[in-house]
Amino acid sequence: MQAKGYSGCFACGQDNPRSLGLDFVPADGTVTAAWMGADWCQGYPGVVHGGILCTLLDEGMARAVQELGVIGVTAKMEVWFRKPAPTGMELVISAWVEDRRGRRIMARGEIRDRQGQLLAEGRALFIVRDEA
């Protein structure tokens, strides 16, 4: 079972040398993490690759689901890229649960820069797999 704190995770694993190093903090129904976009994460020069942004959103939303005391797997995810996310700038990832109906959980997430500009947002359906 992959639960909060899984040390081998690509997105948050502390024992994974290639981890993005995300550390989400829960508060008031939302989880939040800060992340610095490194040059090795770029697609176009100076811009974080869209696949990395998807990973940041997916991990945030999964963590928000875990705050309900369950493990959910991503069944479907939609992402809207609003503005390029520059490398070398701290990004803030926030996510929260929007709705739960049995084993189906809808979550939302967003990535903003430190000035509050929306760079990307997403919505995902999670299916509950296990209790956390």
Strands (E), the chain: 25-27, 30-36, 70-81, 90-101, 104-113, 118-131
User: Are 35 and 20 a contacting pair, CB within 8 Å?
Assistant: yes
Q: Which of 12-16, 23-27, 29-33, 88-92 has the lowest mean pLDDT?
A: 12-16
How far is it, in rounded angstroms, from Cα 63 to Cα 66? 5
Tens of pLDDT, residue by residue over 28-80, are 999 999 999 888 889 999 999 999 999 999 999 999 999 999 999 999 999 99
Residue 19 has pLDDT above 70, yes or no: no
Print the domain residue range for 77.
25-131
Can you read off the two tokens belonging to residue 27? Answer: 């508060």
pLDDT range class, residue 105, cuts 50, 70, 90: very high
Nearest to 65 by CA among 86, 36, 95: 95
Residue 110 lies in a domain: yes
For residue 93, what is the domain's CATH number?
A: 3.10.129.10
Burial class (CB in 10 A: 0-12, 13-18, 19+), 103: exposed
Residue 10 lies in a domain: no
Global pTM exceeds 0.85: yes
